[in-house]
Structure 1
């Protein structure tokens, strides 16, 4: 199994609600830079947070990669989601991209890589992590790379 985890691009500082914050122009550029890192990689699905900035990020990636399947919106990829619960919801095979938020993203990577939450992975806006393993279980995946946009 291959798992990519992408933090959304830079978003507006304020909106009526946090979930409604949109990407900035710089954030869109960041996302396109990160999407370019995935060109040529096989991808089975894109799972995305219901928050606007994550949805915009996922749509930019989908278009940049020419990915024709629909985005799969899931409620367990928000900033305050529980990583252990989210891990139990991950597909158990394939090539999957998650588009989500900090602090959740750093905690999920730590859980998948080390089996605990004590070493969250630093993830800037539009940072892209690539993990690989037999199953998406705590401590069972290897972190292959983390790429930060310029």
Structure 2
């Protein structure tokens, strides 16, 4: 399985709550730019798992405009910024198995995404994710590995 982990795009600082922070213009643009770049690595997603926070759902909306409709999209409360990384990682694997997904996209937040990389790739320090950044964790072989991590700044 190929697991694509994406941080939401840049979000505004002021909102009634953290959950309601919306993408900025730059956040929308960079998420679209990363989506175009991502098409070099994957043609479609079998399963997409998204945080319920507004900025993550808006990021998925932008990404979805660049890819065919996935077989399944789920919004999960377990993908919020302060979620338990071990539980979130197990949940991702359970859904991937349930839907027989080979290409999975998770749209979520820091610090969760960095810790999830460490859950999937034992011994690896949690990497930082810039806004709109994407990492690919290859879970195909015996040993999971972080194949790459890119941000809008590294591809432009």
Name the TM-score, length of structure 2 as normaliser. Answer: 0.85
Change beyond 3 A, Cα 1:56–1:113: same
Match of 1:127 in 2: 133
Match of 2:13 in 1: 13
**Structure-2 separation of matches of 1:68 and 1:95:** 10
Query: How large is the RMSD of aligned CA atoms in angstroms?
Result: 1.9
Give CA deviations for 1:27-61 in whole Å, capped at 9, x if unaligned: 00110111112216131011100000000001110
SS in 2 for 1:71: strand
Change beyond 3 A, Cα 1:115–1:85: farther
Moved over 4 A (4+): none
Deviation at 1:63, TM superposition (A): 1.1
Match of 1:145 in 2: 148
Deviation at 1:134, TM superposition (A): 3.4
Match of 1:110 among 104, 107, 118: 118
1:73 and 2:75 aligned:
yes
Aligned pair count reads 145
CA contact 1:115–1:140 (8 Å) conserved in 2: no
